[in-house]
Structure 1
Amino acid sequence: MDTAIRVLVVDDSNFYAQLVADTLSTDYDMETLTGNNAREGLDSLETSEVDCVVTDYQMPDLDGIEFLEAARERGFEQPFILLTGTGSEAVASEAVAAGVTHYFQKNEGDQQFEKLANQIDNAVEQRRTEKKYELLVDNSPDLIAQINADGEFVMANQSMADSFDATPEELAGKSVADLAPEDIAEKRLSVGREVIETGETRRFEDGYNGDYFHNVFVPVDLPGERATCQVIARNITDRKKAEIELKETVEKLEESNAQLEQFAYVASHDLQEPLRMVSSYMQLLERQYGDKLDEDAQEFIDYAVDGADRMKQMINDLLQYSRVDTRGGDFEQTDFESVLEQALDNLQVAIAESDAEITHDSLPTVVGDESQLAMLLQNLVSNAIKYCDEGPPRIHVTAERDGDEYVFAVSDNGIGISEDNLEEVFRIFGRLHGKDEYSGTGIGLAMCQKIVDRHGGTIRVESAPGEGSTFYFTLPVGGVEDE
């Protein structure tokens, strides 16, 4: 039994009050104090901490029930146990109606004090549980209330009251229809009645005045009380606004992708024709007037043809880059060793000419777009071959699992990259060397990044001039849904 229970015993018989107090203190480890009438009892409630009141029914001035009513008017909510010397049903009914916690008849035999102690213990424990719940509700940021089938507030916590610029006491008895916009009130009242009638919990979202709420309506059906439902409304305005912003961003991105796709179409058709004309007429000019052109004129023609060819290649590369997201294949179980084989088959000539050696550890199976992953490896291996000046290229491919992803590494013995340019290399058309030093348009690593992004991974490089480079990229173990 809780030794912290503090009991106030009020009885106009000083002898009986002291007998009850001493017995509860001695036999049941309760702290007690006494009073001989209701006035003394009210004074004790004002000045002392009391967990439970045990009061006689028949007392001068104020009887036990009037004592309870006076205490409640002053805001005291301790459980009251009424002691009476008679077993009158009328008194019992009046006591229950007034809110007495227990009704106890004096002189119920040798076990009367044990029964009284158990009633006190149960009443205090129940009240403490209720206080914890009330404390939780009152301090919750969620809007919590109890409403009846007419939509009237039976109770409300501070957060709910604040949402209507009122106090919890001011909300009691008011209807949802008087406080919320008509359409919102009608929806909530309809759901509330349905919950009360069916006894089933309902969840839904609504909003007004720029705020959005996730609502939970729970049926409450307690014996002797009118059926109601508990309303828990969580303000989800920040989340909802973020969802709206995300939706708008996605729509803008989709529009941007559509424009990019349109540009890709134009690039693959309309822009190619002028370049072909420039190149063709330059070559025609060379054939017809070559013997009449001096060395400078011939050089100019070569520059023009080379420029047209490089522009055509850049347009083709840009077209391929733009289609990584819009024209990608389905994501499927893909053997990465097979992916590497495809990449190396496409690079047979470059490998043979450079005498490159490509090795690899055991590579896993991932979920992805096989053709794009082959392009990813092909670009990385091709760069490793291209940017190797001293000795034959030596390239090694590995993969290790790290939690929910695989970390792939492609290492080479090439010229390396300075620290200032480790991010620049992934920029579209980002070239660190002139076209006379190394061929290409500078879009290969940008393409790699876009492919990895589509697969839900990341890519980075570790390098230093003269020490080779290692490109790391990650892929989720289970892959991601291809949208």
Structure 2
Amino acid sequence: MPEQGRGQPVFAGYCGRTPGELAYMDGPTNSGAQHLVDGKYGIADLVDLDKLRGIFEKFTSATGFTIGFLDHPGLNILAATGWRDICTKFHRGSPASSEICVKSNRHLLDSINEPGQVTIEACENGLVDCATPIIIKGKHIASLATGQLLLEPPDPERFRRQAKLYGFDEAAYLAALAEIPVVAPDTLRKVTLFLGEIAFLISEMGYTNLVIKEESRKLATEIAERKLAEQENARLNVELREKNKEMENFLYVTTHDLRGPLVNIQGFSRNLEKYFSALAGTAAPEEKALALDRIPSALSFIADSSRKMDALISALLKVSRLGRVEMKPETLDMNALVRSVLASLRWQLDEAGAQVEVSDLPACRADAGAVSQLFGNLVDNAAKYRSKDRPLKIRVSGEKTAYGRALYTVSDNGAGIPALDLPKIWEIFYRRPEPGAGGGEGIGLPMVRRIVEKNGGSIRVQSREGEGSAFTVELPCP
């Protein structure tokens, strides 16, 4: 090889891939010292180096051509097979000549910056090298090279001068030179293009692993965030339960303490009514109207207000007691439980002229007394809020879901609930303005939902005004 040819490309071209096949590489490489894909991944993160070394060794054994696999831009040798003594013992064994090797490699590997590009170039130490880039998402992160060969017989004088220049043992150096194969240019081009195909496969494998890593990283992040959210939810639930417990205790104490003064007010009001009735017989004519009319009227208002206050306190006590009651879950025969509930409501259902249909119900695991209370409330409400335009029909049905929950639906063809009122029915002390339905405490459905939740379930409602309602309760299966 004439000396003036050193460092100049002998051949430059592209492997036989179409632009569409190379499109995933995202075109020419970006400039910059750190060629990390997505700022995180080098080639060692994206390919299995041990498997590649095995493939390279088989390639060298079959063809006699060397392989060098280097990261970019660091030029760290990640895999090397079949390297010649002239390179390992001489050119890279002397600091001065090794610097020339690195400089030549840098020139060659920095010149290949497009997907599928292959280049054959004479190095400054007199041999010929070939390389093709590994490009992933526009980043030239590695290079696949072969070389340490000649395209024509060497000039011994040129290598004697190099031996003298670098202080090599001339005889040993020339003996190493004699082992360097002289390869036909066409053969080398074919081998280099084949390496371009291998580089394409490595790039494709690296890209696939990149996608897997990124998806795995996103999944891991989502899992970690979900776990943190679950932990936060658990903490908030514990805090909420504690606050609810405090509120229920406060409610119980407060309502209990209010009951005493209220009983006094009611008792003394009745006494006053008796006293004024007795005084009316001896009162002067002008005082009789006061004793028999105005004062009893005022006492009547006090009595009515007291009764309302008493009902309110009773309702609050029921709510507070429910919160304090510990649920004792057990496997429940829901067919027997619902029969018992309907038997306890027989008078109300007969008064309403209700026709009740019960299908076969799956078992559940919950507190027996609490579940009886919630179904009793739902059936009683169906009777209470019936339509005056048609006979009342109530249906209780159930099923077991594929995810291990028991669903029960209590439906009716009653008056239904106006759409605007649906969100309010779970509010404590809310009472539906239904003429003739009778006054309630306004705590039935809120207590039903509380019972369901305390037993690990949920409740929802569907209703159309004038058509009826359907309450669906979900509870754990045994």
TM-score range, shorter chain: 0.5 to 0.7
| Aligned counterpart, 1:425 | 425
Residues 434, 471 of structure 1: alpha-carbon distance in 2 compared, 3 angstrom cutoff: closer
Identity of aligned residues (%): 22
Structure-2 separation of matches of 1:76 and 1:298: 99
AA partner of residue 430 (structure 2): G
Residue 475 of structure 2 corresponds to residue 412 of structure 1: no
**Aligned partners of 2:333 and 2:363 also within 8 Å:** yes
Aligned pair 1:278/2:353, yes or no? no
| Closer, same or farther: CA 142–384 of 1 in aligned 2, 3 Å | closer
SS in 2 for 1:79: strand
Structure number with higher helix proportion = 2
Q: Post-superposition shift, 1:329?
A: 0.7
Q: Which residue of 2 aligns with 1:380?
A: 378
Q: Give the 3 Å change call, closer, same or farther, for CA 344–47 of structure 1 in structure 2.
A: closer
Q: Number of aligned residue pairs: give it.
A: 331
- State how far apart, in whole Å, the 1-side matches of 2:115 and 2:324 are: 73
Question: Any idea what the Cα deviations from partners look like across 1:267-292, whole Å, max 9, x if unmatched?
Answer: 45212212222222233334454454
Flag the 1:137–1:473 CA change in 2: closer, same or farther, 3 A. closer
> CA 1:399–1:259 in 2, change beyond 3 Å: closer, same or farther?
same
Gaps of 5+ in 1: 7-19, 21-37, 87-103, 144-213, 215-232
Distance 2:248 2:197 in 1: 74
Distance 1:60 1:245 in 2: 63
Matches within 5 A, 1:244-323: 246=233, 249-250=236-237, 252-290=239-277, 292=280, 294=292, 297-298=295-296, 300-323=298-321
SS at match of 1:421: helix
Q: Which amino acid aligns with 2:420?
A: D
329 and 309 in structure 1: CA distance in 2 versus 1, 3 angstrom threshold: same
Distance 2:17 2:442 in 1: 79
2:457 aligned partner: 456
Alignment of 1:46-445 (within 5 A): 46=112, 50=116, 61-64=124-127, 67=129, 77-82=142-147, 84=149, 106=181, 120=195, 124=199, 127-128=202-203, 131-132=206-207, 135-136=210-211, 142=217, 242=229, 246=233, 249-250=236-237, 252-290=239-277, 292=280, 294=292, 297-298=295-296, 300-351=298-349, 353-354=351-352, 356-388=354-386, 390=388, 393-400=392-399, 404=403, 405-433=405-433, 438-445=438-445
Structure 1 residues 345 and 76, CA, compared in 2 at 3 Å: closer, same or farther?
closer
User: Per-residue deviation at 1:441?
Assistant: 1.2
> Displacement of 1:457 after TM fit?
1.7
Give the number of the structure with larger relative contact order, counting CA–CA contacts within 8 Å between residues 6 or more apart.
Answer: 2
Alpha-carbon shift at residue 135 of structure 1 (Å): 4.7
Partner Cα separation in structure 1 for residue 123 and residue 427 of structure 2: 94
RMSD of aligned residue pairs (Cα, Å): 5.0
Per-residue displacement from partner, 1:330-366 (whole Å, max 9, x unpaired)? 3332222233234234434434555544331222212
Instruction: Check whether the contact 1:53–1:78 (CA below 8 A) recurs between aligned residues.
Output: no
**Corresponding residue SS for 1:78:** strand
> Does structure 2 retain, via aligned residues, the 8 Å contact 1:356–1:385?
yes
Matched with 1:211 is none
Deviation at 1:80, TM superposition (A): 1.6
For residues 43 and 117 of structure 1, what CA distance do their matches in structure 2 show?
14
State the structure with more CA Rg: 2
Q: Could you tell me how far apart the structure 2 residues matched to 1:134 and 1:411 are?
A: 55
2:474 matched residue in structure 1: 475
Is 1:447 the counterpart of 2:447? The answer is yes
Question: Are 1:52 and 1:79, in contact at CA under 8 Å, matched by a contact in 2?
Answer: no
Equivalent-residue separation in structure 2 for 1:294 and 1:237 (angstroms): 77
One-letter amino acid of the counterpart of residue 471, structure 1:
A
Check conservation: 1:449, 1:458, Cα contact below 8 A.
yes
Q: Distance in 2 between matches of 1:132 and 1:399?
A: 53
Q: CA offsets, 1:145-184, max 9 Å, x none?
A: xxxxxxxxxxxxxxxxxxxxxxxxxxxxxxxxxxxxxxxx
* Offset, 1:445: 1.6
* Amino acid across the alignment from 1:82: G
- Superposed displacement of residue 392, structure 1: 6.7
Question: Which structure 2 residue ranges, 5 or more long, are not aligned?
Answer: 1-14, 22-62, 64-103, 135-139, 154-178, 281-290
Relative distance call for 1:304 and 1:398 in structure 2 (3 A) is farther
Q: CA deviation at 1:238?
A: 5.7
Residue 248 of structure 1 and its aligned partner are, at CA, apart by: 5.7
Q: What SS does the aligned partner of 2:142 have?
A: coil
What is the deviation of 1:462? 0.6
Moved more, 267-276 or 245-254: 245-254
In the alignment, residue 451 of structure 2 is paired with which amino acid?
I
Distance 1:260 1:432 in 2: 26
1:123 deviates by 5.2
- What's the CA shift string for 1:243-273, capped at 9, x where partnerless? 6753663354234213212223314521221
SS at 2:397's partner residue? strand
Q: Is the 8 A contact 1:53 1:80 kept in 2?
A: no
In the alignment, what sits opposite 1:17? none
